[in-house]
C-alpha cells in the first residue's frame, strides 16, 4: 500500500472471463521504496494514465467468482493532472543547456528528437555542425560544412565546443555554434545538444558547469562487455554504417564508457536506456522542473 510512479501501461480491451466486461488498464509502477509492481489502474477522466504520473493505492472490488466470493485487489489511482505551464507563463532559459551524452548507438538522437516533439514549447535542438557527409537517417539534425569551412568557424571563435572523432574512413569534425544556442535562448527555450566527452567538456568550459543540465545515457548491461554488445546490436539494426565504421564506433564507445567513471563531476544524472518511454519521461520531468523553478 505504497504510492508510486507509473512507468508504463497498457489497456486490455477484452478482459478474461470473470472480470468486468470493460476495458481494463494495467500499469508497471515503481513504488516509493524502489520496488516495482504490476497493478490495475483507476483513472478518472480528469487524470488519464500517463508515463511519469504519480499513483496512490486503493482497495477495490476486482470480481466475484463462480462461488460468489468477492475478491478485492490493490489498484492504483492516477493523481490529478498538474497542468504544464504555457510558454508565456514560463521562465526563460538564458544560460541553461540540456546535454545528452553517451556512446554511438545508445539512442541520443532518438531521445532528443522525441523530447523536442513532446516539449516543443520549452525545448529546441541545436543543429550539429559537421564536416562528415550526410547519411540516411540523419533526420535533418546536422549542418554540413566542408573541413575548410569548419576550420574557419574554429578560427573565428564561432564554435563554443568542437571535436574530431577518430576515424580512418571519413573526416569527422563536430561542433556547436554560439549563435545557434543564443537564437534558441532568444525564443525562451532550452537548447538541447547531443554530445560526447570532448563536446561536453567544451560546453562546460565555455558556459560553466552549472549552466549544463548534463544527462548521461548508457546502454543496458552489467558489464562493459555487455553494454558494448548492446551497442553493436543497435548499430547493426539501424543499418547506417559499414562494418568498418561500426568497429571504429565501438572502439570510440569503449573510451566513452570509461569517461562516465573518469568524469562523474560532469554529469547530473546517469540514465540507462533500457526502456525508451521511461527514460523519456524522466528527462521530461527534469526539463519541466527547470520551467517551474
Q: Quote the Cα angle for 156-124-143, to 5°.
A: 45
List, in sequence order, every beta strand (DSSP E) within 85-225. 97-101, 123-125, 128-130, 142-144, 159-164, 173-177, 190-195, 212-218
Do β-strands 142-144 and 54-64 pair in parallel, antiparallel, or remain unpaired? unpaired
pLDDT for residue 88 is more than 50: no
Range name among 41-50, 176-185, 244-253 with the lowest pLDDT average? 41-50
- Which residue range(s) make up the domain with 167? 87-292
Model-level pTM?
Answer: 0.64
The pLDDT value given to residue 42: 78
For the chain, what is the domain count? 2
Instruction: Evaluate if residue 101 carries a pLDDT over 80.
Output: yes
Q: Report DSSP state, residue 47.
A: G
Alpha-carbon span 146 to 135, nearest angstrom: 15
223 CB burial (10 A radius; 0-12, 13-18, 19+): exposed
Burial classification of residue 168, based on how many CB atoms lie within 10 Å of its CB (0-12 exposed, 13-18 middle, 19 or more buried): exposed
- Give the pLDDT score at 224: 82
Mean of the per-residue pLDDT values of the chain? 82
**126 and 240: one domain?**
yes
Q: Residues near 251 by Cβ (< 8 Å), separated by ≥ 6?
A: 166
Q: SS3 for 209?
A: helix
> Do residues 32 and 161 share a domain?
no
Q: What is the CATH number of the domain that holds 15?
A: 2.40.50
Residues 117 and 56 in one domain: no
DSSP state of 42: E
CA–CA separation, 192 and 116 (whole Å)? 8
* Residues 116 and 49 occupy one common structural domain: no
Beta strands in the chain (DSSP E): 4-12, 24-31, 36-42, 54-64, 70-78, 97-101, 123-125, 128-130, 142-144, 159-164, 173-177, 190-195, 212-218, 269-272
DSSP helix, strand, coil percent of the chain (3-state; round to 5) = 35, 30, 35
Out of 83-87, 123-127, 209-213, which region has the weakest mean confidence (pLDDT)? 83-87
What residues contact residue 254 under an 8 Å CB cut-off, 6+ apart? Answer: 224, 228
- The alpha carbon of residue 39 and the mean position of all alpha carbons in its chain are separated, in whole angstroms, by 26
Cα distance between residue 237 and residue 233, in whole Å: 6
**Taking 70 as the threshold, does the pLDDT of residue 220 lie above it?**
yes
Residue 275 sits in a domain whose CATH number is 3.40.50.300
* Mean pLDDT value of segment 72-91: 60
47 & 178 share domain? no
Integer Cα distance of 122 and 117 in angstroms: 10
Final residue in a domain of this structure, among 15, 43, 78? 78
Among 78, 100, 118, the domain boundary falls at 78
pLDDT bracket for residue 193 (50, 70, 90)? very high
Q: Which three cell numbers stand for residue 43?
A: 483513472
Amino acid at each position: 500500500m505504497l504510492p508510486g510512479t507509473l512507468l508504463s501501461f497498457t489497456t486490455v480491451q477484452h478482459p478474461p472471463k470473470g472480470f468486468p466486461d470493460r476495458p481494463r488498464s494495467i500499469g508497471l509502477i515503481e513504488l516509493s521504496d524502489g520496488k516495482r509492481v504490476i497493478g490495475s489502474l483507476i483513472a478518472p477522466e480528469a487524470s488519464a494514465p500517463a508515463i511519469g504520473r504519480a499513483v496512490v493505492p486503493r482497495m477495490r472490488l476486482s470480481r466475484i467468482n463462480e462461488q460468489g466470493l468477492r475478491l478485492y485487489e490493490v489498484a492504483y489511482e492516477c493523481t490529478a493532472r498538474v497542468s504544464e505551464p504555457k510558454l508565456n507563463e514560463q521562465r526563460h532559459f538564458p544560460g541553461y543547456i540540456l546535454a545528452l551524452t553517451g556512446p554511438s548507438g545508445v539512442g541520443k538522437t532518438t531521445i532528443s528528437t522525441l523530447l523536442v516533439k513532446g516539449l516543443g514549447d520549452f525545448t529546441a535542438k541545436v543543429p550539429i555542425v559537421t564536416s562528415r557527409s550526410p547519411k540516411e537517417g540523419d533526420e535533418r539534425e546536422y549542418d554540413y560544412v566542408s573541413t575548410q569551412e569548419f576550420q574557419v568557424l574554429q578560427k573565428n571563435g564561432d564554435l563554443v565546443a568542437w571535436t574530431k572523432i577518430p576515424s580512418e574512413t571519413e573526416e569527422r569534425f563536430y561542433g556547436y555554434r554560439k549563435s545557434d544556442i543564443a537564437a534558441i535562448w532568444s525564443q525562451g527555450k532550452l537548447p538541447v545538444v547531443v554530445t560526447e566527452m570532448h563536446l561536453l567538456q567544451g560546453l562546460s568550459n565555455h558556459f560553466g558547469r552549472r549552466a549544463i543540465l548534463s544527462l548521461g545515457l548508457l546502454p543496458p548491461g552489467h558489464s562493459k562487455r555487455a553494454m558494448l554488445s548492446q551497442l553493436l546490436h543497435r548499430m547493426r539494426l539501424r543499418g547506417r554504417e559499414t562494418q568498418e565504421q561500426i568497429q571504429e564506433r565501438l572502439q570510440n564507445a569503449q573510451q566513452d564508457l570509461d569517461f562516465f567513471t573518469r568524469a562523474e563531476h560532469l554529469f547530473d544524472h546517469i540514465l540507462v536506456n533500457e526502456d525508451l518511454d521511461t527514460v523519456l519521461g524522466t528527462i521530461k520531468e527534469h526539463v519541466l522542473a527547470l520551467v517551474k523553478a
